[in-house]
Structure 1
Amino acid sequence: MLRITPRILAVACIASGLITAACASYAPTPSSDLAGTSWAVQSIDGQPTSARSPSVEFAAEDRISGAGGCNSFSGVYEAANGAISVRALGRTEMACEGGVMLQEDAFFAVLDGAERYARQQDRLVITADDGRALVLAPL
């Protein structure tokens, strides 16, 4: 007959605790203060956007998505301590009128080259490696 000794009881308690911890639900922590926020682009390199303004959503788990004014997009972002990078950016390939496409191309150029971000009052400013910037307002 098996005797339950203090040692066996301690091992069983530790194993039970480890199993419980491993089965607990996992909630990933946001990678930055941008996670869970949505923004409308107000200007691209100092030029106000048209009525078909691009928008950006920074989701949890480092996902970014939105609309460029004509095409939708999604990808992956990393943001910490004022540094930001956007990669694996995929987008639809619809054609729109010339002005909208020019605005969208400028938007994606800044987003593709994103290097820094800053929160200024209620605005978000994303600056690309070439110095061009997006100014965004919360949605």
Structure 2
Amino acid sequence: MKRLAFFILIITFLISCSGTKEMSKAILTETTWQLKSLNGDAELSGFSKKIPHINFTEDDRVSGNTGCNSFNGAYSNSTNKGTIVFSRMVSTKMYCDGVPESEFLGALNQVNTIKKSKDELIFLDNDKTIMVFVPKE
């Protein structure tokens, strides 16, 4: 009987480990995320002054910097489905010559899916990678 109970315990453990892991909200909120690539461009050459970053809070608020201006708004996500939606986004309006912040903000508006891979936070439009973030140093 003990062997059967042990066997059932091992099978239960293996089944639970083989499923997809849910992304906890803590993954979002415990880190300041810095942009690594935007629409496939890992050079980020247009962001000469500052690399964009994003912060998430437990109360569903988001803030950050576009490479020139500060922004904030709200987000809603379903961590078990990997979906995310940004809303009520606002930003400061300083003039920033040559900084592609409109491309950054436009990409942020396209995002509907989010996933975590190693040390990267990947924002997608369905299956297409739009933005990749890494922990800010």
User: Considering the TM-score relative to the shorter chain, is it more than 0.5?
Assistant: yes
Letter in 2 for 1:121: K
Asked whether the 8 Å contact 1:83–1:117 carries over to 2, the reply is yes
Letter in 2 for 1:60: E
What is the CA-CA distance between 1:61 and the residue it aligns to?
Answer: 0.2
Unaligned runs of at least 5 residues, structure 2: 1-23
Aligned-partner Cα distance in 2 for 1:71–1:43: 18
SS at match of 2:28: coil
C-alpha change, 1:114 and 1:67, in structure 2 (3 Å) is same
What is the CA-CA distance between 1:34 and the residue it aligns to?
Answer: 1.6
What is the CA-CA distance between 1:132 and the residue it aligns to?
Answer: 5.2
Unaligned runs of at least 5 residues, structure 1: 1-30
- What's the CA shift string for 1:50-108, capped at 9, x where partnerless? 3421000011100000000011000000122210000000101111112x1x2x11110
Larger Rg: 1
SS at match of 1:112: helix
Aligned-partner Cα distance in 1 for 2:109–2:117: 22
- Spell out the pairing of 1:120-135 with structure 2 (5 A cutoff): 120-128=117-125, 131=128, 133-135=130-132
C-alpha change, 1:68 and 1:130, in structure 2 (3 Å) is farther
- What's the CA shift string for 1:23-66, capped at 9, x where partnerless? xxxxxxxx824233310001101112234210000111000000
Letter in 2 for 1:46: G
Asked whether the 8 Å contact 1:35–1:62 carries over to 2, the reply is no
Give the TM-score normalised by structure 2. Answer: 0.70
Aligned-partner Cα distance in 1 for 2:91–2:36: 21
1:42 to 26, 36, 47: 36
SS at match of 2:58: coil
Give the TM-score normalised by structure 1. Answer: 0.69
**2:67 alignment counterpart:** 69
Asked whether the 8 Å contact 1:37–1:59 carries over to 2, the reply is no
Q: Is residue 115 of structure 1 aligned with residue 112 of structure 2?
A: yes
Aligned-partner Cα distance in 2 for 1:42–1:58: 17
Q: Determine which structure has greater relative contact order: mean sequence separation of CA pairs < 8 Å that are 6+ residues apart, divided by chain length.
A: 2
